[in-house]
Structure 1
Amino acid sequence: MKQVRVLLIDDDEDDYILTKAVFDRLSDRYSLSWVNSYEKGINAILKRQHDVYLVDYRLGKGTGIDLLKEALNSGCVKPIIMLTGKGDRTIDEQAMNIGAADYMVKDEIEPVIIERSIRYSIKHADGLRALQDSERKYRAIFEQANDPILISEYSGRIHDMNSCGLSFFGYRLDELQKLPDDVIFKNRTDIEKFRDLLEKSGSLTDFECELVSKDGIVYHCSLSSFIQTDMISVSEVYHTIIRDLSYRKHIEEKSVNLGKMSISEHIAKGLGDEIRDPLSAINLAVDELASDQVLAYSESVQSYLEIIKTNCDRVTRLMQNFISSTETKTLNLQRHSINEVIEETIAEMEDLITGHNIKLTKQLLESEHRVLLDKTKVKSALISVIKNAVEAMQTYPKIIHITSTSDKDMFEIGIEDNGTGVIQENQDKIFEPFFTTKKRASGLGLTHAQRVLTTHNGSIKLKSQANGSLFLIRIPIYNEGALWH
Structure 2
Amino acid sequence: MKNRIEFFRIIPFIYLIVGPIWVFGTDYVLKTSNLSAEKIQLLDNIKGLLFIVITAALLYVLLRNLSHTKKIEEEKEKLTLLIDTMPDLVSFKDGEGNCLELNKFGAELFELGNFDFKGKSTEELAANSEFYHDALIYCIDTDEEAWKAGKMSRCEETIPTRDGSFKTFDALKLPIFHKDGSRKALLVIGRDITDLKETENMLRQSEKMSVVGELAAGIAHEIRNPLTTIKGFMQMHQDKAIKIEDHIDVLVDEIDRINSICTDLLLVAKPTELIFANKNVNTIVKDVVHLLSTEAKLKNTKINLTELDQFDAYCNDSQLKQVFINVLKNALEAITTNGEVKITIEDKNEDFFAVKFEDNGCGIDETRLKHIGEPFYSVKEKGIGLGMTVSYRIMETHKGSINVTSQVNVGTSVEILLPKVK
Q: TM-score range by the shorter chain?
A: 0.3 to 0.5
Relative to total residues, which structure has the larger helix share, 1 or 2? 2
Structure label with greater radius of gyration: 2
TM-score, reference length from structure 1: 0.37
